[in-house]
């Protein structure tokens, strides 16, 4: 069902971008992936793709940034489309209550990650995709899917970011090998990680991200009456996981403050979904201590409050 956008949405979006430009407390840019450490922290962008086909945006709306863990939403959708419920044999659907790169739960739970949005879970999902393809094909398939969702063939991988993470991603190497020992990951860990690092290194602007998330806002379609990307049920299920697990150990706080499903990445991006109304891309590179964008979280809280959008409200 499509709901008309708030009439004053352009003003709200412009105001929020202006407020964020004036913020001085911008969080800290991730530096554990060396290539990300050089990103300028003074950037901010917000884009809202509405049910009536508009794209309302303000700030640094066309600057591509590293989507990092936001890519996990797209790989999950792709894996569910290909493998259906078999994906849930490898990965759970519960919040982890631990950092995104934590290894501690895995041994207790016999190598099966808590959910598809922490690193371990996303690596297991990537392995599922890879079980059908050669690594280059799997990566091509992921990129094609995201380009299709966004309706934009310019979306590309930043090879320098992928290389940088490959050189320093020791913790992910540990996670992949650990899961391989339990048979949750079935492929060669280095091949699985090669694909994982590259899909995390996809670069998108907030405009492209808002467009790519439309299928989650519109019951699995690219627009309320548009082409279908996934089933309506699957879109709802992914939204549920974004709400409960999309911000790692900050998921409860994001749901409390923003009230919309969202997925963050350490590049500072957040994809948020107002079902029936809009798909929202937001970005600012500085992170809070949990690894979620400080200003993008704050901006989405203001957007939700000023539009009245919430999955917990009747209208
Ligand atoms: N590629 C990053 C990693 O594996 C993704 C983490 C994130 O965005 N939270 O560490």
Residue from 48, 70, 72, 87 carrying the catalytic annotation: 72
Q: What is the largest CA-CA distance in the chain?
A: 55
Distance between CA 239 and CA 311 in Å, rounded? 10
Please tell me the number of Cα atoms within 13 Å of 6 on its side-chain side: 18
What is the CATH superfamily name and number for domain 9-68+202-307?
DD-peptidase/beta-lactamase superfamily (3.40.710.10)
Would you state the pLDDT for residue 314? Answer: 86
Is 133 in the active site? no
Residues within a 6 A CB radius of ligand 1: 68-69, 100-101, 119, 165, 172, 200, 265-266, 291
Is 266 in the active site? yes
Q: Cα(224) to centroid of ligand 1, in Å?
A: 32
Distance between CA 39 and CA 299 in Å, rounded? 20
Return the CATH number of the domain spanning residue range 84-200.
3.40.710.10
Residue from 48, 73, 206, 266 carrying the catalytic annotation: 266
Distance between CA 230 and CA 113 in Å, rounded? 24
Query: What digits encode the pLDDT tens for the residues 90-147?
Result: 999 999 988 888 889 899 999 999 999 999 999 999 999 999 999 999 999 999 999 9
Query: What digits encode the pLDDT tens for the residues 102-115?
Result: 889 899 999 999 99
Query: What digits encode the pLDDT tens for the residues 24-62?
Result: 999 999 999 999 999 999 999 999 999 999 999 999 999
Place of tokens 């699957």: 234
Would you state the pLDDT for residue 100? Answer: 86
Q: Examine the pLDDT at 69 and tell me if it is beyond 70.
A: yes
| CATH 3.40.710.10 residue spans of the chain | 9-68+202-307, 84-200
pTM reported for the whole predicted model: 0.97
Which of these, 164, 195, 193, lies nearest to 178 by C-alpha position?
193
Query: What digits encode the pLDDT tens for the residues 271-312?
Result: 999 999 999 999 999 999 999 999 999 999 999 999 999 999
Distance between CA 13 and CA 31 in Å, rounded? 29
Atom of ligand 1 nearest to the CA of 100: 9
Place of tokens 């467009």: 211
Query: What digits encode the pLDDT tens for the residues 12-27?
Result: 999 999 999 999 999 9
């Amino acid at each position: 069902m499509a709901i008309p956008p708030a009439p004053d949405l352009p003003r709200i979006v412009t105001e929020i971008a202006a407020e964020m430009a004036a913020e001085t407390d911008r969080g800290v840019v991730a530096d554990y992936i060396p290539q990300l450490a050089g990103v300028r922290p003074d950037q901010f962008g917000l884009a809202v793709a509405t049910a009536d086909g508009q794209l309302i945006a303000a700030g640094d709306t066309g600057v591509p940034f590293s989507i990092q863990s936001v890519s996990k939403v797209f790989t999950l959708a792709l894996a569910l489309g290909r493998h259906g419920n078999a994906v849930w044999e490898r990965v759970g659907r519960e919040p982890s209550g631990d950092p995104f790169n934590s290894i501690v739960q895995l041994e207790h739970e016999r190598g099966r990650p808590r959910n598809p949005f922490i690193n371990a879970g996303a690596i297991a999902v990537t392995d599922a995709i890879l079980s059908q393809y050669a690594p280059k094909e799997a990566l091509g398939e992921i990129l094609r899917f995201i380009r299709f969702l966004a309706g934009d063939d310019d979306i590309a991988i930043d090879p320098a970011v992928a290389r940088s993470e490959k050189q320093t991603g020791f913790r992910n190497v540990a996670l992949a090998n650990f899961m391989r020992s339990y048979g949750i990951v079935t492929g060669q860990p280095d091949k699985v990680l090669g694909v994982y690092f590259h899909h995390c290194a996809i670069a998108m602007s907030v405009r492209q991200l808002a467009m790519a998330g439309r299928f989650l806002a519109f019951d699995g379609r690219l627009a309320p009456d548009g082409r279908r990307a996934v089933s309506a049920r699957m879109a709802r299920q992914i939204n549920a996981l974004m709400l409960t697990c999309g911000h790692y150990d900050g998921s409860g706080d994001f749901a409390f403050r923003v009230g919309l499903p969202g997925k963050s990445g350490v590049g500072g991006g957040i994809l948020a979904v107002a079902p029936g109304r809009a798909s929202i891309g937001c970005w600012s590179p500085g992170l809070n201590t949990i690894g979620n964008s400080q200003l993008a979280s704050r901006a989405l809280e203001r957007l939700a409050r000023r539009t009245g959008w919430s999955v917990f409200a009747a209208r």
